[in-house]
Amino acid sequence: MSERIARIGVVGLGYWGPNIARNVAANRRAELAWLCDRSQPALAAASARHPHARTSDSYEELLRDPELDAVAIATPVSTHYELATAALEAGKHVLVEKPLAASSAQAADLIALAEERSLVLMPGHTFLYSPSVVKVKELLDAGELGEIYFVSFSRVNLGLHQPDVSVVWDLAPHDLSILSFWLGGMPQEVSALTRSCVLPGTPDVAFVNLRFESGTIAHLELSWLSPVKLRRTSIVGSQKMVVYDDTSNEPIRIFDAGAELPAPESFGEFRLTYRTGDILSPKIDALEPLALEIEDFCRAILDGGVPRSSSTIGYEVVRSIEAIERSLEQGGVPCRADADLAGDLRQAAVDTTP
């Protein structure tokens, strides 16, 4: 008996879609069934690389194919809601590029619809499949770092301005999804400072503060206007500290270092000492995160279960960004960000009740 495979159509063949197509084609549990884009040159280029896939400039044509199991949507965020809704209503599983939708209400709607139809809805938070990010998660789950004091992200470089998108919508989803994965939840409160340096109305640098219920705090430095590319994340725990840097040959470095509380009897003479020990760069496998993401999508479709990049994480990321936007509108005042997915889902149910 031959094993079932997932027949997948890739929608949107701009910058990222071709990478999805390549990884779908390479996955032994998937078949690249369709390539779809309105642009004929984009279609032709993708078709040359994948001559066995059918092509179309009509999304509806894909959705009408009863053999098609799933679509992978790599189009601008403003179209996510409409395209994903249509696919789910046509009974197709959906992988949609991050962010999941343009608002948390839309995200909740999509989640409600997917649950109703028992379909997979998975946002493409590729970083959750980075072996480095997973390594940190393993360290956290094993308690090696102790209590997590704070996390600091620098994600800056020169370019690329995305027209009609702020640097927050462009870059923060990476760090917010990683935080949600590592810490098991979303921030309770956020505040931010941004500036639109080059184009009016398009923030291109942002400093974002996050506070979690556990006490952990975090900071994001995001910029399209920095002279040197930085992808540097510090995770500081009570037992150990980790620096995660995707641009380094040693992306994870574990520091056996910290502050030592003075012995209780020495009170009065209250003086901290610091402990510095070995530094370890564990071997990190050079696997392509997108290949692992596609594998997880296929697994969810064929075997059931929730993908690591779950729709809940997708919802939490959008909701956190909305809170950041709210803080910006209010001049930087800290704003509540904690998700009420259950409430939003109830609301979604009400809204869609005929």
What are the residues binding a second copy (CB under 8 A)?
149-150, 152, 154, 156, 158-161, 163, 189, 191, 193-195, 197-199, 204-205, 207, 209, 211, 215, 217, 219, 221, 223-228, 234, 236, 238, 241-243, 250, 253, 255-259, 261, 270-272, 274, 276-283, 331-334
How far apart CA 271 and CA 262 sit, in angstroms, is: 6
CB of 52 to a second copy, least distance (A): 11
Residue 45 sits at φ, ψ, to 5 deg, of: -65, -45
Sequence-ordered list of residues with C-beta below 8 angstroms from that of 1, at least 6 positions apart, any chain: none
How far apart CA 237 and CA 76 sit, in angstroms, is: 38
CB of 6 to a second copy, least distance (A): 24
Return the H-helix or E-strand segment holding 228.
strand 225-237
CB 37 within 8 A of CB 50: no
CB of 346 to a second copy, least distance (A): 30
Nearer to a second copy, 54 or 229 (CB): 229
Nearer to a second copy, 201 or 304 (CB): 201
CB of 214 to a second copy, least distance (A): 11
Residue 58 sits at φ, ψ, to 5 deg, of: -115, 115
Q: What Cα–Cα distance (Å) separates residue 178 from each residue in 18, 38, 147, 172, 198?
A: 24, 33, 17, 10, 29
Nearer to a second copy, 159 or 305 (CB): 159
CB of 245 to a second copy, least distance (A): 10
Two structure tokens written together for 85: 């809704």
Nearer to a second copy, 99 or 258 (CB): 258
Nearer to a second copy, 103 or 146 (CB): 146
